[in-house]
Chains A and B, each alone.
Chain A
Amino acid sequence: MKSTFRSFAVALLLAGGRALACPVCGLGGNSAGQGAYKAMSIMLVGVALIGIGGILGLVMLRARRHSAISPRGEQHP
């Protein structure tokens, strides 16, 4: 599971640099512009991954703590 997630994250990060999908930002302009486009693609993917991962991580952490405090089968008053 972890390795799948890592591979997916790496593929996404690399795709940002390779795609040059936007003809205005990616292919037009000078080399500095293309470099900025790649860097910003990676930044946007990174922010999205960190954001979603952070929220999921927090929920998982809380769920783990929650189950540690109240073992399965216990009735909450």
Chain B
Amino acid sequence: MDAITSRPLRRTSVISNALLGTLIFLFTEAMLFAGMISALTITRANQLPGNWPPPGQPRLPFEETRINTVALILSGAMLLASNWKSGRPRRALIWTAFVLGAAFVVLQGREWFALIAQGLTMRSSTIGSFFYLIVGTHGLHAIIALGLLAALGLQKIRTQGLNVVAHGLWYFVVLAWPVIYVVVYL
């Protein structure tokens, strides 16, 4: 039998399993953060005027966190630029994105130590509970995504699926932060 006619028909997929799975995963993550932000907003609105943050609790450092925010947004831009109009990803830009992302996590850690020293803990008040829950969950995502970015930089990721997950998770971390920053810190 002729080799061409004996070749089985192959189905081509409209969207890759990796991309669809990542999108569904990121959607559930968005709903998780939306739920937490919703709970914080309602709790804060139910407080008496001038009672947020509660007495004896420090104000969240909105101005200082601007630097972290800029670092994270730049990191997302670097990752975007690493694949921009190029067949092969530019590793230098991936590493720049990693360093900026790592700076964000380190600066956040420093901020946590300062806030704990000022008496803001998970159990000290509602603002403390929400702050550590929301920012901590975001930080956990950032750390996992940083691990994937490092693997991208080291070219340890060889499958297209994991590549999509790494990019998708980092973009999610970058895009979710400005919303969290404004809602939680203001």
Contacts and interface: CB of A to CB of B under 8 A. Distances in A.
Query: Per DSSP, are chain A's interface residues mostly helix, strand or loop, or mixed?
Result: helix
Interface of A: 25, 28-30, 32-33, 35-37, 39-41, 43-44, 47-48, 51-52, 54-55, 58-59, 62-63, 66, 70, 75-77
B45 A44 contact: no
Contacts of A40: 37-38, 41-42
Query: Per DSSP, are chain B's interface residues mostly helix, strand or loop, or mixed?
Result: helix
Nearest to B35: A44
Interface stretch (B12-20, B72-80, B106-114, B151-159): B12-20
Contacts of A75: 9
A48 to B, nearest CB: 7
Interface of B: 7, 9-12, 14-15, 20, 23-24, 27, 30-31, 34-35, 37-38, 41-42, 44-46
A55 to B, nearest CB: 5
A52 B10 CA distance: 29
Nearest to A59: B15
Contacts of B45: 29-30, 32-33, 35-37
B34 A47 contact: yes
Given A51-B31, A55-B24, A66-B14, A30 B9 contact: no
A47 B14 contact: no
8 contacts: A33-B42, A37-B42, A40-B42, A43-B38, A44-B34, A48-B31, A51-B27, A51-B31
Nearest to A47: B34
B9 A47 contact: no
B46 A28 contact: yes
A58 B30 contact: no
A70 B9 CA distance: 14
A62 B15 contact: yes
